[in-house]
Amino acid sequence: TAFIIVFKKSFYASLVGENLRQLFLLGVFLGLHFIFFVSAVKCTTILNATVLVNTTPVFAMLILASLFKVKPLSLAILGLIISFVGVCVIASSGTVIANLGANPESFSSGLTGDLEAVIAALAEALYLNYGRKTRSQMNIVSLMLPIYFSAALTVGIISLPIANKTWAFPTEAQSILFLLGLGLLPTAIAHTLYFSSLSNLKSFETATLALLEPVGATVLGIVIFQEIPQPLFVFGSAMVLTGIFLVIKEKG
* Residues 47, 125: Cα–Cα separation, whole Å: 20
Query: One-letter amino acid identity for 121?
Result: A
Q: What is the pLDDT of residues 130-181, one digit of tens each?
A: 888 888 778 887 888 899 999 999 998 998 877 666 666 777 888 888 888 8
Q: What is the pLDDT of residues 186-227, one digit of tens each?
A: 888 888 888 888 877 777 667 766 666 766 676 777 788 887
Handedness of CA 197, 243, 62, 211 (dihedral sign): negative
Share of the chain above pLDDT 70, in %: 76
* Residues 242, 13: Cα–Cα separation, whole Å: 43
The crossing angle, in degrees rounded to 10, of helices 20-43 and 46-53 is 150
Q: Is the pTM of this model over 0.85?
A: no
Q: Are 251 and 204 in contact (CB under 8 A)?
A: yes
Integer Rg of the chain from CA: 19
In terms of phi and psi (left: phi > 0; alpha: psi -120 to 50; beta: otherwise), the region of 138 is beta
Residue ranges covered by each domain of the chain:
14-158+170-251
Share of the chain above pLDDT 90, in %: 16
* Residues 215, 103: Cα–Cα separation, whole Å: 24
Which residues lie closer than 8 Å to 80 by C-beta, 6 or more apart? 58, 61, 62, 72, 243, 247
Confidence of residue 119 (pLDDT cuts 50, 70, 90): very high
* Residues 28, 3: Cα–Cα separation, whole Å: 21
Q: Are 77 and 11 in contact (CB under 8 A)?
A: no
